[in-house]
Amino acid sequence: GQQVMQIPQYQHVQEGEDFTTYCNSSTTLSNIQWYKQRPGGHPVFLIQLVKSGEVKKQKRLTFQFGEAKKNSSLHITATQTTDVGTYFCWGTYKYIFGTGTRLKVLA
Amino acid sequence: DAGVTQSPTHLIKTRGQHVTLRCSPISGHKSVSWYQQVLGQGPQFIFQYYEKEERGRGNFPDRFSARQFPNYSSELNVNALLLGDSALYLCASSFRYREMIETQYFGPGTRLLVL
C-alpha cells in the first residue's frame, strides 16, 4: 500500500539553528499538506502544496513540493523554542499521514 | 466561531466493553474524518463522512463503525475493546469533500485508555 515516510524521525537542534524534515511518498501525490502537533496537542494545519515544484514561505518556514510530486520538505530557519513539536506531512490521497519528525529545540 | 469539539476528553474502559466518541465539526463544515493516534506515532485514518455518507475507510476492523448525523456531527463506535485500542482519537472537519483540496481542522481529541 501507499506509504509516506519522513526523515529524520527525531531532530534536536540548538535554538537559532536551522531544521529540515523530508517527506517521501511511494506514489505520486495530488497535493500535500503539512501539520504541526505540539506535545499533548492535536495536529494544526500549516500549509498546502498543490503544484509540482511549488515553494511557499511562512515567515521562517519554507515548504517545497517536489517536481515529481512524490516528495516534499519543510525547512525552518533559525529555530525557536516555540517550534518544538512533531511535524507531519499528509497526502490527501487515502488520507495518509507521514511518520512525523519530532523536533526538540535546546535553548 | 467555535472550533471542532470532541467528547469526552478522557475515557477509561475495560477490555470487551463498547465506547462511543462524539465530534461536532466547525459550523458550515460538512465533512468529518476520524483518526487514531497511538502514542509516538502519526494519526491513522479510520473513516471519512460527508453529507452523512461514508466516503472513505481506513484499514481498521469491523469493530470500528461511525455515522454522521443531519447536523453533521459524528459518532465513532468501537466494540469489543482491546488493549491496543488505547489511543488518542482525533476528529477533523473540513469545509467540503474533495480529495484534492481539503484543509482539516482537528479537535482536541479523546484519550481512550483500555485496561
In chain A, what are the domain boundaries?
Answer: 4-106
Per-residue confidence in pLDDT tens, chain A, 107 aa? 668 899 999 999 999 999 999 999 988 888 899 999 999 999 999 999 999 999 999 999 999 999 999 999 999 999 999 999 999 999 877 788 999 999 999 99
> Which strand (E) or helix (H) includes residue B76?
strand B74-78
| Average pLDDT of every residue of chain B | 92
* Confidence label for B100 from pLDDT (cuts 50, 70 and 90): low
For B3, nearest residue in chain A (alpha carbons): A44
Give the sign of the dihedral formed by CA B34, CA B107, CA B77, CA B32.
negative
Of A43, A92, A100, the CB nearest to B102: A92
CB contact under 8 A, B48 and A97: no
Cell of A18: 536551522
CA atoms within 13 A on the CB side of A73: 14
| CA pair distance B91, B109, nearest whole angstrom | 7
Q: What are phi and psi of A100, to 5 degrees?
A: 90, 150
B98 pLDDT higher than 60? no
Would you say domain A4-106 falls under CATH 2.60.40.10?
yes
B60 touches B46 (CB < 8 A): yes
CB contact under 8 A, A31 and B109: no
Q: Tell whether A14 is within 8 A of chain B (Cβ).
A: no
A61 touches A46 (CB < 8 A): yes
- Give strand pairing partners of B6: B23
Q: Hey, what domains does chain B have and what are their CATH numbers?
A: 5-110 (2.60.40.10)
For B55, nearest residue in chain A (alpha carbons): A94
Mean pLDDT of B96-111: 79
User: Choosing among B26, B31, B34, B45, which should be mutated to test the A contact, i.e. which has the most A CBs within 10 A?
Assistant: B45
Cell of A77: 530557519
- Give strand pairing partners of A24: A5, A71
B88 pLDDT higher than 70? yes
Among candidate residues A71, A60, A82, the one with its CA nearest the CA of residue A29: A71
Q: Tell whether A85 is within 8 A of chain B (Cβ).
A: no
CB contact under 8 A, B101 and A93: no
